């Protein structure tokens, strides 16, 4: 178990790391949905 | 007149809508599998990094920041190198394709994200080990400079112009910016700053600590590949929207001209 010493900094670094990645991912997926409404599926070569 | 107006229909209106595809338009079976693996890897990293790995003799619990700090730094390096190599592939006439430009842009964006995480987590780690959030030593300064360079690269991508113009100017910048990566990496050897030297290659880590670090590196690498894969597809969609906007504008001007000719004098 994590000792209390400096636990705020340790937990803060993990929280900030995963929050940043999560927010970036959500923003990217929202942008993908908005853009996909204007592009026909035939123009998405990966599908 | 009404007959000529049909050509101004937005191409998006003509597309088939598939609700499943539109919920995750950049997903494929492969990317979903990769995403799940990245998620599982991140879960493992949290469990090992926060609970299972032992405390360090000197740094005590503060060493746990290493498991997010080092992998994010490694990923930022990788991302910027991929940006540089993709840019070279774009500049080389034989392989010139906007796909390379989009991979470069996507990788740089994800690299900036991970470099930001490196700076913030390093700052918190520095507060524990050095007693300060920031010091102008060689490693920290060159890292901050690298971060600012790639923020500038992303700004240059947004300057406007055609997709080819964007690709060319940003590719040149990316190739130059890639030269900074070894400068940052070897800064701890060349200038002997406050920042510690390489720990992994020196064999100073072992056992569960080394294993946890590798879990972090694998988890973040999977995350990086997943993010870049999706991001470059989003950029492809945005380029398509951009092209369609241009096509619609041209069709509208053409119809306006035809309509003006049909008006009886």
Query: What residue segments make up the domains of chain B, in order of their start?
Result: 62-259
- Give me the residues of B, 137-166, that contact A with CB < 8 A: none
Chain B residue whose CA is closest to A38: B12
Higher pLDDT pick, B60 / B73: B73
Q: Scanning the structure block, which residue is given the tokens 């720990």?
A: B199
Tell me, what's the pLDDT at B200?
66
Q: Are the Cβ atoms of A47 and B21 closer than 8 angstroms? A: yes
Encode B180-194 in three state secondary structure. HHHHHHCHHHHCCCC
Report how far residue B95's alpha carbon sits from residue B124's, in angstroms, rounded to the nearest whole number: 43
Predicted confidence at residue A4, as pLDDT, reads 58
Judged by CB atoms closer than 8 Å, whether chains meet at B230 and A29 is answered as: yes
Q: Which of A36, A30, A40, A31 is nearest to B12 (CA)?
A: A40
Please say if the pLDDT value at position B145 is more than 90. Answer: yes
pLDDT at A45 over 70: yes
Q: How sure is the predictor about B99, in pLDDT bands with cuts at 50, 70 and 90?
A: very high
Whole-number mean pLDDT of chain B?
87
Q: List CB contacts of B122: < 8 A, sequence separation 6 or more.
A: B69, B73, B140, B143
Closest to A21 (Cα-Cα) out of B112, B119, B27, B82: B112
B222 touches chain A (CB under 8 A): no
Is residue B123 predicted with pLDDT exceeding 70? yes
The residue-averaged pLDDT of B6-23 equals 52
Q: Is pLDDT above 50 for A2?
A: no
Cβ atoms of A25 and B227 closer than 8 Å: yes
**Nearest by CB: A3 against B55, B125, B238:** B55
Compute the distance between CA of residue B132 and CA of residue B124 in angstroms, rounded to an integer: 8
- In this predicted structure, the answer to whether residue B264 has a pLDDT above a threshold of 70 is no
| A5 SS3 class | coil
- Residue A31, both tokens: 């942008």
Residue B199 pLDDT? 67
CB B208 within 8 Å of CB B65: no
- Give percent of chain B with pLDDT exceeding 70: 88
**Nearest chain B residue (CA) to A13:** B121
Of B9 and B83, the one with more pLDDT:
B83
pLDDT for B203: 65
Q: Is the pLDDT of residue B92 over 70?
A: yes
- B82, pLDDT greater than 50: yes
**Do the Cβ atoms of A36 and B22 come within 8 Å?**
yes
Helix B98-129 with A7-36: angle, nearest 10 deg? 160
Q: What is the mean pLDDT of residues A30-35?
A: 91
pLDDT for B1 beyond 50? no
Beta bridge partners of B173: none
B188-240, pLDDT tens digit by residue? 888 877 777 766 666 677 789 999 999 999 999 999 999 999 999 999 999 98
Q: Which of residues 55-84 of B touch A (CB under 8 A)?
A: 55, 60-62, 64-65, 68-69, 72
Distance between CA atoms of residues B170 and B152, nearest Å: 10
Q: What's the CA gap between B107 and B216, in Å, rounded?
A: 19
Q: Which is more confidently placed, B196 or B34?
A: B34
Is B160 or B41 the better-scoring residue by pLDDT? B41
Minimal C-alpha gap between B264 and chain A (Å): 37
Confidence of residue A1 (pLDDT cuts 50, 70, 90): very low
């Amino acid at each position: 178990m994590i000792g209390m010493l400096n636990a705020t900094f340790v937990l803060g670094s993990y929280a900030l790391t995963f929050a940043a990645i999560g927010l970036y991912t959500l923003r990217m997926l929202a942008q993908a949905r908005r853009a996909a409404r204007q592009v026909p599926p035939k123009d998405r070569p990966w599908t | 007149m009404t007959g000529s107006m049909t050509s101004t229909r937005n191409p998006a209106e003509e597309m088939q809508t598939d609700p499943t595809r539109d919920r995750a338009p950049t997903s494929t079976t492969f990317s979903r599998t990769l995403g799940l693996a990245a998620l599982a890897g991140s879960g493992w990293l949290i469990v090992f990094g926060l609970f299972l790995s032992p405390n360090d003799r000197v740094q005590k619990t503060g060493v746990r920041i290493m498991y997010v700090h080092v992998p994010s730094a490694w990923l930022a390096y990788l991302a910027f190198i991929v940006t540089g190599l993709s840019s070279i592939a774009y500049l080389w006439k034989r392989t010139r394709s906007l796909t390379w430009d989009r991979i470069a842009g996507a990788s740089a964006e994800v690299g900036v994200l991970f470099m930001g995480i490196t700076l913030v987590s390093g700052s918190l780690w520095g507060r524990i080990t050095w007693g300060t959030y920031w010091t102008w030593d060689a490693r920290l300064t060159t890292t901050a400079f690298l971060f600012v360079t790639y923020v500038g690269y992303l700004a240059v991508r947004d300057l406007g112009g055609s997709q080819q113009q964007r690709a060319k100017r940003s590719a040149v910048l990316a190739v130059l910016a890639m030269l900074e990566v070894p400068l940052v990496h070897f800064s701890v050897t060349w200038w002997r700053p406050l920042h510690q030297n390489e720990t992994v290659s020196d064999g100073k880590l072992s056992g569960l600590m080394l294993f946890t670090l590798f879990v972090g590196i694998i988890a973040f690498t999977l995350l990086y590949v997943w993010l870049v894969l999706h991001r470059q597809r989003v950029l492809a969609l945005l380029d398509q929207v951009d092209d369609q906007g241009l096509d619609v504008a041209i069709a509208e001007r053409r119809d306006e001209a035809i309509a003006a000719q049909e008006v009886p004098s």
